[in-house]
Chains A and B, each alone.
Chain A
Amino acid sequence: MKQLAALTALGLALASPAFASKVYVSNEKGNTITVIDSATWEVLTEFPAGNRPRGIGISPDGKHLYVCASDDDTVRVFDAETYEELWTLPSGPDPELFTMHPDGSLLYIANEDDNLVTVVDTASHTIVAEIPVGVEPEGMAISPDTRFVINTSETTNMAHFIDTTDYEIKHNILVDQRPRYAVYTDDGTGLFVSSEIGGTVSVIDPNADGGPQLLTKIGFEVAGVQPEWLQPVGMQVTADNKWLFVALGPANRVAVVDVATNEVVKYILVGQRVWQLGFTPDQKYLITTNGNSNDVTIIDVDAQKAVKSVQVGQQPWGVVVAPD
């Protein structure tokens, strides 16, 4: 944390008011959302968000903020400007993470308790489909062409490929223990699945002939850190398809992976128990939620350096940045 504090001045110098966006951080323990201004990295406000807010997302027009209130068994929808709660969406029990259709019309929600993925229409507030998946569904991603929704199940250790036209599972890929998060490259050619307990990221070709194929697994190693603490969780890939950022949980680091070679090129020290990651719309900055130090770290994406940390609510979990 000392290094980060010393870098604060640099972070402020780099910030430019021209690209101000609101950053929303869900605080799992604090039951709040912290709102940060990405131009100044100042906290604007903190507002209540129901019980145990975790997964968080925003509509493509930037108007509606969606928050999984896990212990309320619902997704709460807030006005992204006024922070007023507008309505709730039926989510099934204990929603944790969701992915959104690029046009904002549907949420695909993982229900850990019921081994289901629930599809919810954001306009009519109704459940469109419930898809039985593996044990403890968690990670969710949608392919850029919207053909497939990916769900990872933590005890089944699979990535399920759900066809978005008929909601049937078309493919399954076995990965390492406790898959937590899935992310596609923006061009849809690559899919990454992080395995928290397995300590690896599976690299999958989703479009291989004869169905999706596991290409390789990325491992992690940091001198002086016990291997069991290298637990990959949240991930983001840059739009140019060059860099994959992987949050390593209790290792307090974000790994930077060269997508071309699947090699880790750098480990960036951030706050404690780093969980989820979110880019600013211009992808100049990556925000990390640090659950055990109650702050977020701002990473300069080009420099691959932590530039600032910002204190937020109790046990930050998820993060999303408003679109331009």
Chain B
Amino acid sequence: MLLPMSGTGGDTMNESVRGDVVAEGMSPFRLGLARVRGNRAAVVAFWVVMFFVFVAIFAPVLVKIFNIDPYALDREAINDFGLPAGPMGGISWDHPLGVEPGTGRDILGRLMYGARISLLVGAIGTILTTVVGVTLGMIAGLRRGFIDSLISRLGDVTLAFPSLLLIIALANPMTQRLESLGVPSGNTARITYIMTVLTLFGWVYMARLVRGQVLSLREREFVEAARSFGAGTGHLVFKQLLPNLWPQIIVFVSLSLPGFVALEATLSFLGVGLLAPAASWGIMLGDSVRYYRAAPTYLFIPGVTLMALVLAFNLLGDGLRDAFDPRSDRQQL
């Protein structure tokens, strides 16, 4: 059986409860958090994610501290073939992770700046798809009837689109269109484009999830009760339904974020990326493939970094799902 849900979504009771599971009287949110803390993989993943976020946010400061400039060309670090001078892809005190072949730019610095782009695209993409998805799903679930059909069919059509092909094909014309609409040209327009298309194609899953939940929740006693007291739609949405959707939304967000990070790298790899001299993991990976013989570390390092971040997000997401998914209640409690 599900725990009784508080109709207000508040968590005023049992402030003292912490650590291991004392189920009674805890809000689902707190209960979930308590369970996550017990999952060691999820905790490690959380700190890895936090580390990346920290590096991304403070990249400009960190590169100053370590004296590595991601944009500075270093002729000394590459030989006359343009390949990194010295063993291991030019790893040295000046360049802790080696240098990029051809230019001698520092790989560590570029990874740090690349993390900014990856996490920015991941975060904004997730926020936008969540907002759009939750809104549309909520409308569909509450209104039902014609509007529900309309939104659901729209979702089906969106999913049927070969989205990756479309994103690549439309990149240049749409970026130009955005620029002509007044979006600052260059990377701002390119990132805006990527965000827009990711949102356009990514909202459906969230909308379906929310719609399904709303359809089931709206028949529940506490909603009926609120309605019988004459609660308006606003109250129903914000005070009754949303608080009960948070667990699912958090799980979904934590699982879709790594998808966006990987997708940004994929798009950059395929050439729908940023303009020089910006750094992006996808651009680094795309370029490094050619050097697997001459400078294997150049392929290895960005690859492992991307893998680490995506893996960490996924483990964290799994941990959150285990904690918040109602079905796991039965197993763990």
Q: Do A and B come from one complex?
A: no
Interface residues of A (CB under 8 A from B): none
> B interface vs A, CB < 8 Å?
none
